[in-house]
């Protein structure tokens, strides 16, 4: 499988205290199987669906670290990307380092404080399956500093940006265009939701690979800026019930949007993620 284009979300992993509990939760929720991989930097767990890589489970090296899903963006040159991150007002938390022959990884934070990863492919190019039930579908950054964050991702990855409907359930691919006659955002005021398109692609919803959401008053003041990772499911309501039965929580109950029915959940250790049933979306491939 070829490496992903620059700036495209290419991998996700979850940082957990108890990997065995994580395997039980995600194995039943998404039908994943698992394989342990030893590296010079420790052991991590590959999550597989139909024998294809869909995510990773990583043990916390320090109990004080958050229990969280991490998203990684593809980079042709991780060192050069790290330079652009600093120049654009972000912070490199962990500098680029080779993980055996698999990849070069780095972690960083944008100007709003949201943490993300950089992935320069080696033998591991990233997701081998995405956009289908049980696999990755979408990511979006939730921030209170939209102007600075928009400028940052333009500078680092060259994203084109287009306003979207004000919903956090963003599409894995090919969302509908805004309705005819929809008013543009007020001049100088960032849109509540912006969709990202890779450098060189038309900056429109049909080519979106991620997005930015403004954190408004409905968000708890103590909640920091963050990325929310979505996984595609066949039945959002059933997945929410299963997650609750397995010891997770429902942070946002199921809701219908133009992009599909979605919910925000946590696993049995507190890591937040979203699920979306794209079969209910009001759009079709090629539409």
Residues 9-280, CATH architecture: Roll (3.10)
Rounded to the nearest integer, the mean pLDDT of the chain is: 88
Per-residue pLDDT at 61: 84
Q: What is the mean pLDDT of residues 158-164?
A: 91
Q: What is the mean pLDDT of residues 234-250?
A: 97
Question: Mind listing the pLDDT tens digit for each residue in 18-77?
Answer: 999 999 999 999 999 999 887 776 778 999 999 999 999 999 988 788 999 999 999 999
Per-residue pLDDT at 286: 32
Per-residue pLDDT at 272: 98
According to DSSP, the β-strands at 9-16 and 52-59 are: parallel
Question: Mind listing the pLDDT tens digit for each residue in 95-132?
Answer: 999 988 888 999 999 999 999 999 999 988 999 999 99
DSSP, residue by residue, 10-60: EEEEEEES-HHHHHHHHHHHH--EEEEEEETTEEEEEEEETTEEEEEEEE-
And the tokens for 95? 């500098």
Q: What is the mean pLDDT of residues 80-93?
A: 98
What is the pLDDT confidence band of residue 204, given thresholds at 50, 70 and 90? confident
**What value, to the nearest 5°, has the Cα angle with vertex 76 and ends 74 and 77?**
110
Backbone angles phi, psi at 220, to 5 degrees: -60, 140
Residues paired with residue 46 on neighbouring β-strands, in sequence order: 35, 56
**How many other CB atoms are found less than 10 A from the CB of residue 3?**
18
**What value, to the nearest 5°, has the Cα angle with vertex 225 and ends 220 and 227?**
115
Task: Please answer whether residues 118 and 136 qualify as being in contact, where contact means their C-beta atoms are separated by less than 8 angstroms.
Answer: no
User: Domain spans of the chain?
Assistant: 9-280
According to DSSP, the β-strands at 115-121 and 226-232 are: unpaired
The pLDDT > 90 percentage for the chain reads: 73
Say yes or no to pLDDT of 243 above 90.
Answer: yes
Task: Please answer whether residues 75 and 118 qualify as being in contact, where contact means their C-beta atoms are separated by less than 8 angstroms.
Answer: yes
Q: What does the alpha-carbon distance between residue 212 and residue 274 come to, in Å, rounded to a whole number?
A: 15
Say yes or no to pLDDT of 87 above 50.
Answer: yes
Q: Which long-range contacts (C-beta less than 8 Å, at least 24 apart) are formed by 187-192?
A: 190/146, 190/147, 190/150, 190/214, 191/163, 191/164, 191/166, 192/166, 192/216
Q: What does the alpha-carbon distance between residue 35 and residue 226 come to, in Å, rounded to a whole number?
A: 28
Q: What is the mean pLDDT of residues 182-209?
A: 75
Question: Mind listing the pLDDT tens digit for each residue in 167-193?
Answer: 544 444 333 333 333 334 344 457 899
Per-residue pLDDT at 263: 97
**Worst-scoring range by mean pLDDT, 14-18, 243-247, 257-261?**
257-261
Task: Please answer whether residues 251 and 139 qualify as being in contact, where contact means their C-beta atoms are separated by less than 8 angstroms.
Answer: no
Q: What is the mean pLDDT of residues 247-262?
A: 91
**How many other CB atoms are found less than 10 A from the CB of residue 195?**
26
What is the pLDDT confidence band of residue 164, given thresholds at 50, 70 and 90? confident
Q: What does the alpha-carbon distance between residue 112 and residue 274 come to, in Å, rounded to a whole number?
A: 21
Q: Which helix (H) or strand (E) holds 149?
A: helix 146-157
């Amino acid at each position: 499988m070829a490496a992903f284009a620059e700036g495209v979300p290419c991998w996700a992993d979850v940082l957990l205290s108890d990997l065995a509990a994580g395997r039980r939760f995600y194995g039943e929720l998404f039908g994943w199987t698992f394989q342990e991989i030893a590296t010079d930097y420790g052991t991590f767990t590959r999550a597989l669906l139909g024998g294809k890589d869909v995510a990773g489970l990583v043990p916390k090296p320090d109990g004080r670290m958050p229990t969280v899903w991490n998203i990684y963006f593809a980079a042709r040159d991780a060192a050069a990307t790290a330079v652009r991150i600093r120049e654009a007002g972000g912070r490199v938390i962990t500098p680029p380092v080779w993980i055996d022959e698999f990849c070069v990884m780095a972690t960083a934070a944008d100007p709003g404080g949201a943490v993300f990863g950089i992935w320069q492919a080696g033998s591991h190019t990233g997701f081998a399956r995405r956009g289908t039930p049980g696999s990755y579908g979408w990511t979006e950054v939730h921030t209170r500093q939209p102007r600075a964050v928009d400028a940052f991702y333009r500078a680092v990855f060259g994203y084109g940006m287009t306003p979207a409907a004000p919903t956090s359930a963003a599409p894995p691919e090919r969302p509908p265009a805004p309705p005819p006659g929809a008013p543009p955002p007020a001049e100088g005021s960032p849109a509540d939701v912006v969709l990202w398109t890779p450098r060189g692609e038309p900056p429109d919803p049909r080519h979106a690979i991620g997005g930015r959401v403004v954190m408004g008053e409905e968000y708890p003041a103590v909640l920091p800026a963050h990325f929310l990772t979505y996984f595609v499911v066949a039945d959002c309501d059933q997945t929410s019930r299963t997650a609750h039965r397995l010891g997770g929580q429902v942070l946002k109950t199921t809701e219908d949007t133009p992009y599909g029915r979605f919910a925000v959940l946590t696993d049995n250790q507190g890591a937040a993620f979203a699920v979306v049933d794209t079969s209910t979306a009001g759009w079709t491939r090629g539409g």
